[in-house]
Chains A and B, each alone.
Chain A
Amino acid sequence: MPERTPDVAAIITAHAEGVMAGLSFRSLLDAVGVARAEGIGVEVLVVLDNPTAATREVFAEADEHGARVAEVSYADQGKVRNHAVGLTTAGHVAFLDGDDLWSENWLADAHRMCAGAPQVIGHPELNWFFENQQNLYFLPDQTDPDFDPALLRIANPWDALCLAPRSAYVDHPFSARAVADGYAYEDWHWMLETYRGGYVHRVVPETIHFKRRREGSQYVQARARKVLTRPSELLDYAWWQERDRSV
């Protein structure tokens, strides 16, 4: 019997999180357990990018939890994610950062929403930021009649910790960071490209991502350095004029 292609690849990426990554891994394994209990085939991948010794140590026995571990040296979250997608043949891919947590229903509920619709990308209903100050960010659903897609030109309403068809990552790989040239926000650019490519960004009701506030995160660094997303047709007024005509 040929081995069944996994339905979902649950991928955790880590770098210098140290022992905190253990909490994230535990959260991921809980969500994997819930999904498998619903009959969803889940593959678990750990991708470490220039890991510190402490981070590597956290995943030293990951195979005992059924996880495969890969180590890369990119210092670039987009490239790490692109690499990770290449390691799996699963129909859908879900990423978790090494210091964040999923609500345990995330994989199961998101897969249920996305599995039947080939171009749907699932986002949690709520990003629950913790440490220091609590921010609750309810993510928008682009099918909400009040959602204005022009928001994508001004801000990124979603983030890369979503569950998406593998094809979304293959057709639209994350762009490389080039901070010295003023380009970053690869996840924002990915949202622009997938939106333009016809993917539909939906919210999975009653799901939560718990996100740690980090002063030194790549996002915070990018904001401080005044970088921009790479150019995209979705930033181009010509695209919007065409859209005006078609709507």
Chain B
Amino acid sequence: MRSIRLRRRPDEAPPAIESEDTGAAAGRERPALARRMRAAAHPRFYAAQVGDPSLADDVDAAVRHYLEHGQQAGARLSGLFNEGVYLERLAERGLGVAAGETPFVHWLTVGWDERVVPTVLFDEAFYVARHPDLAQGPEWGFAQYLRAGCYAPGRSPTPFGPNYGGVPDRDARERQDPPLVAGLLHRAAEFDLSRTSWLEEGVQRGAAKLAGLDTERMRTLVAKAAAIEPLVAQTPKERWVSWPPHTHPMVRPTAAAEQVRRSVGLVRADTMVVVPGGAEPGPGVRAVVAALRTQEPDATVLVVTTDAPAPALLAGATRTVDLSGPFAGMTDARRLLGLLDLVRGLRPRRVVVADSALGWRLLTSYATTLRHETSLVAVLREATEEDGAASVAGDFQACFDRLDRVVTDTDAQRDDLVARYLLTSAARCRLVSAAEVGAHGLDALAGGGGARA
């Protein structure tokens, strides 16, 4: 097996690895080392260790910083390289790292070619069995995972799941910021990240739990059950293992929900307004918020933004909380759990959903239940070319029967809905325009609703 190991004496300084882009790398071996080092880098994970957020989005800057400072300080450039694991696995093969040599560089030059997996976060046998197409590929499994698999939501590298994946950002691969970094940085203050992380500790503990199944006692218990029901011991196509609080998909959403609860600083809200954030709200939302300010000046209005912080117009006279930060990188289903936790935790008398896709999902999924606990109001904006009339109509149709009120941005929009759906006079009463809210205030919003806390 060919090695690209750099040959140097132990007392030499760490190798100066030039970027391939500069063309300054010496010899034929260095470009491969530089290429591998860059490919393995996870800048946000590295930046968290060295305390320099400016490196988090810059792969090349992180690599340079590592070579100049981090390497000597023992920082980890890659979340998928663990020095302790590497040295242990290397020793199992009768190999070692010379004194003064950086284990990470040793792995890039020797361990990579020896196909030593330097982390507990990847189980090659499991991965290849789950993705048999990779066996025919040009790379070994771990190299494929490092390059591509760790950015793909469907790729699980161990039986403990997708390393707390959630969903990668659209440019995650370009930024080399795979979802597993969120797991590596979870409860970061409690770990020396240069050595380990919450994610690695969890997988290690889970592996120990799994090893416990091999005791005589547990084997006997399983065998006795299998004597009754043979399917118990049937060899599974694949095996999944989860164990809260260490390796369970709901641990990070729980932490995010707790972060939101603590940051909101409230235990009750009278009205909760769910908006996407970012852009200025439309006439319907503005009318609702203005009516609330005027008629319930002492009431607590909480604006919940689901995609970006609140616009100034809404933030000025209300309390705000942004879910997009704590729930970044999580699936819509888990973000929805976070929003649901907030709604049921604060027990508002009224929930107003406006424009937020996540808010609409709350209504389409759980309005049947929530209508018993709070009054539900939706603000229906005029369809734009971007989202199309079908999308807005779909939201309306999916929820209208379970909402106390729907507020439209314009009178024409309201009239169009009345005509198109042949709304009865009773149903018509639940449909009001922004102008009506402006004229009649909260009376226009006083729906039947459910029992209020």
Scan residues 15-34 of chain B and give those whose CB is less than 8 A from a CB of chain A: none
With a cutoff of 8 Å between Cβ atoms, the chain A residues found around residue B257 in the complex are: 150, 153-154
Choose from B217, B225, B365 the contact partner of A210 (Cβ within 8 Å). B225
Give me 11 A-to-B residue pairs in the complex whose CB atoms sit less than 8 angstroms apart, sorted by A's number: A23-B228, A101-B228, A101-B229, A137-B241, A138-B243, A148-B251, A151-B254, A157-B248, A206-B218, A210-B225, A231-B373
Chain B CB within 8 A of A53 CB: no
Which A residue's beta carbon lies closest to that of B202?
A: A146
Q: Are A181 and B369 in contact (CB under 8 A)?
A: yes
- A35 lies within 8 A of chain B by Cβ: no
Interface residues of B in 337-387 (CB under 8 A from A): 337, 340-341, 344-347, 365-366, 368-370, 372-373
Given contacts A103-B221, A241-B267, is CB(A154)–CB(B254) below 8 Å? yes
A52 CB-CB contact with B under 8 Å: no
Contact with B along A200-220 (1 / 0, CB 8 A): 000000111010100000000
By beta carbon, the residue of chain A nearest B240 is A135
**In the assembly, what is the distance between CA of A212 and CA of B245, in Å?**
24
Task: Tally chain B residues at the interface, Cβ within 8 Å.
Answer: 54
Contact present for B244 and A104 (CB under 8 Å): no
Do the beta carbons of B245 and A101 come within 8 Å of each other?
no
On whether the beta carbons of A240 and B239 are closer than 8 Å, the reply is: no
Whole-angstrom CA separation of A131 from B268 in the bound complex: 45
- Please provide the chain A residues from 123 to 148 with a CB less than 8 Å away from any CB of chain B in the complex: 126, 128, 130-131, 133-138, 140, 144, 146-148
CB distance from A181 to the nearest CB of B (A): 6
A182-B372, A206-B221 as given contacts; A27 in contact with B228, CB under 8 Å: yes
Interface residue from A133, A148, A236 paired with B245 (Cβ < 8 Å) = A148
Contact of B229 with A235 in the complex, beta carbons under 8 Å = no
Interface residues on A, range: 35 or more
Any B CB within 8 A of the CB of A67: no
Q: A137-B241, A147-B245, A157-B248 are in contact. List 12 more A-B contacts (CB 8 A).
A: A101-B228, A103-B222, A134-B238, A134-B239, A136-B213, A148-B258, A150-B254, A212-B231, A227-B369, A228-B369, A231-B373, A235-B345
* A104 vs chain B, min Cβ distance (A): 5
Q: Identify the closest chain A residue to B255 (Cβ).
A: A148
Q: Which residues of A contact B255 (CB under 8 A)?
A: 148, 150
Q: Is the CB of A101 within 8 A of B345?
A: no
Docked Cα-Cα span, A153 to B224, in Å, equals: 36
A228 to chain B, nearest CB (A): 5
Is A195 in contact with chain B by the CB < 8 A criterion?
no
Instruction: Please give me the residue from chain B that is nearest to A99 by CB atom.
Output: B229
**A231 to chain B: closest CB distance in Å?**
6
Asked if A65 is at the interface (CB within 8 A of a chain B CB), the reply is no
Contact B337 A154 (CB under 8 A): yes
Check A155 for interface membership: any CB of B closer than 8 A: yes
B294 interface hit (Cβ, 8 Å): no
User: Do B210 and A148 have beta carbons less than 8 Å apart?
Assistant: no
A236 in contact with B347 (CB, 8 Å): yes
- State which of B209, B224, B225, B242 has its C-beta within 8 Å of the C-beta of A135: B242
Of A237, A238, A241, most buried by chain B (CB within 10 Å of CB) is A237
Q: A101-B228, A104-B224, A182-B372 are in contact. Are A231 and B261 (CB under 8 A)?
A: no
* Contacting residues, chain B, for A104 (C-beta < 8 A): 221, 224-225
Chain B positions within 8 Å of A126 at CB level? 213
A144 close to B240 (CB less than 8 A): no
Residue B234 is within 8 A (CB to CB) of chain A in the complex:
yes
Which B residues touch A105, using CB under 8 A? 221
Cβ of B266 and Cβ of A237 under 8 Å apart?
Answer: yes
Quick one: closest B residue to A183, CB to CB?
Answer: B369
From 224 to 238 in chain B, residues with beta carbon under 8 angstroms from any chain A beta carbon are: 224-225, 228-229, 231-232, 234, 236-238
Q: Are A23 and B261 in contact (CB under 8 A)?
A: no
A195 to chain B, nearest CB (A): 14
Are B239 and A136 interface neighbours, CB within 8 A? yes
Which residue of chain B lies nearest to A226 when distances are taken between CB atoms in the complex? B365
A76 at the interface (CB under 8 A from B): no
B241 to chain A, nearest CB (A): 5
Q: Could you say which residues of chain A place their CB within 8 Å of the CB of B369?
A: 181-183, 226-228
Cβ contacts under 8 Å, B345 to chain A: 153, 235-237, 240
Asked if A26 is at the interface of the complex by the 8 Å CB criterion, the answer is yes
Complex contacts, A23 vs chain B, CB 8 Å = 228-229
Contact in complex: B245, A151 (CB < 8 Å): yes
Q: Of B217, B251, B346, which one neighbours A237 at CB under 8 angstroms?
A: B346
The answer on a CB contact under 8 Å between A136 and B344 is no
A147 to B224, CA, bound (A): 32
Counting CB contacts under 8 A, is B98 at the interface? no
Q: Give Cα distance in the complex from A105 to B337, angstroms.
A: 37
Give chain A nearest CB distance to B416 CB in angstroms. 29
Contacts A135-B240, A150-B258 hold; do A101 and B225 have CB atoms under 8 A apart?
yes
Which residues of chain A are within 8 angstroms of B222 by Cβ–Cβ distance? 103, 128, 208
Q: Cβ of A159 < 8 Å from any Cβ of B?
A: no
By the criterion CB–CB under 8 Å, are A140 and B218 in contact? no
Query: Does B172 sit within 8 A of A, measured CB to CB?
Result: no
Interface contact B236-A147, CB-CB below 8 Å? no
Docked-complex contact B242 and A138, CB < 8 angstroms: yes
Whether A208 touches B244, Cβ cut-off 8 Å, given contacts A128-B232, A183-B369, A235-B345, is no
Q: Can you list, as one digit per residue, whether each of A172-204 has a CB less than 8 Å from chain B (1) or not (0)?
A: 000000001111000000000000000000000
Closest residue on chain A to residue B159 by CB atoms: A136
Query: Top 9 A-B pairs ranked by shortest CB distance?
Result: A182-B369, A134-B236, A138-B243, A182-B368, A237-B345, A238-B267, A103-B221, A155-B250, A237-B267
Report how far A134 CA is from B210 CA in the complex, Å.
Answer: 13
A104 to B222, CA, bound (A): 9
Q: Is B246 among interface residues, defined by CB-CB distance under 8 A?
A: yes
A240 touches B365 (CB 8 A): no
- Shortest distance between the CB of B404 and any CB in chain A (Å): 16
B253 at the A interface (CB under 8 A): yes
